[in-house]
Structure 1
Amino acid sequence: MDKALIYPMAAHVALTGLLYVMLTAARAPSVWGIGRHADGSNPWADFEPRISANLSNQFEWPLFFYAACLLMLIQQGVDTPPLVLAWVFVGGRVVHSWVQICTTNIRLRGLVFTINFLAVFGLWLCLLIRS
């Protein structure tokens, strides 16, 4: 289980890559004219700024996730609690992305972010306890 943290890290990288693909597709009608409505409008115009904002979010709080995971990998030993917290974080990021892109529910988004926040905070607590 020493290298097991690589999998949730890779899953977050995959989520970020998916968001880049979604953003490219959402911008295609405006940039390339692909998929425009008959009147020339972009059918994804409402979603494009939400996808873009969510993509930016993937480079904010997740920085602390990667730092904690890398420090744990350097320490050569990952036990179950940090691994569970890492997967909770990644699952939370997926849910957060869905909520931010598909809804305008700020309260729900805040709740999901709190779960992500606590998971990373827990990773850092595990790291500090082991040090």
Structure 2
Amino acid sequence: MTLKLIYPALAQIFWSFVVLVIMFRRRKQAFANREVKLADIAVSTERYPDSARLAAANFSNQFETPVLFFALTLIAIHVGATGYVMAALAWAFVVTRVAHTLIHTGSNSLKHRALVFAAGIACLFCMWVGIVIAVV
């Protein structure tokens, strides 16, 4: 078994924890600044300030396209498609997820966010193509 694809998978998992901490800190700050009360968010989180809602939205994003990444990583390992190109694509995907978070929880520029998201999807598609080539 190769570790080339395990490292980016572990990095993506770590990044999900980082985003969770960002979300927690922003929500905590909202309470500390009295921008929100427990009763305000008992049914819905819509009353959190934008910065906390953006962090929460990004945390949810960590369970969307990364699911494809983890599936592709496991399949690649299983079929032996673990070369340097596949590893580079996996790392590139993780980099796009980090950049996506920084944009999403920072400027929230939809133009930049969409470009980074598209780059991540391209990485996933290329990983998929690499796996198909390996099994054909």
Would the TM-score normalized by the shorter structure come out above 0.5?
Answer: yes
For the superposition of Structure 1 and Structure 2, which TM-score range results when normalised by the shorter chain? 0.7 to 0.9
2:9 aligned residue: 9
TM-score, L = length of structure 1: 0.87
Question: What is the CA distance between 1:62 and its match in structure 2?
Answer: 1.0
Per-residue CA deviation, residues 45-103 of structure 1 (Å, 9 max, x unaligned), is 33101001111111111111111100111123511110000000000000000011101
User: Which residue matches 2:118?
Assistant: 114
Spell out the pairing of 1:88-127 with structure 2 (5 A cutoff): 88-127=92-131
Equivalent pair of 1:2/1:77 in contact (CA under 8 Å):
no
Tell me the TM-score normalized by structure 2. Answer: 0.84
Distance 1:120 1:77 in 2: 14
Q: 1:128 to 1:77 in 2, by over 3 A?
A: closer
What is the aligned partner in structure 1 of residue 50 from structure 2? 46
- Identify the residue that residue 71 of structure 2 maps to in structure 1: 67
For the aligned residue pairs, the C-alpha RMSD in angstroms reads 1.7
Equivalences for 1:77-92 in 2 at 5 Å? 77-92=81-96
Deviation beyond 2 Å, 4+ runs, structure 1: none
Identify unmatched segments of 5+ residues in structure 1. none
Is the Cα contact below 8 Å between 2:80 and 2:134 reproduced in 1? no
**Identity percentage of aligned residues:** 28
Q: Which amino acid aligns with 2:35?
A: S
Runs of at least 5 residues in structure 2 that lack an aligned partner in the other structure: 37-47
| Aligned positions, number | 124
Q: In 2, distance between residues paired with 1:116 and 1:72?
A: 17
For 1:21 and 1:8, the matched residues in 2 are separated by 20
Whether the 8 Å contact between 2:79 and 2:131 is mirrored in structure 1 is no
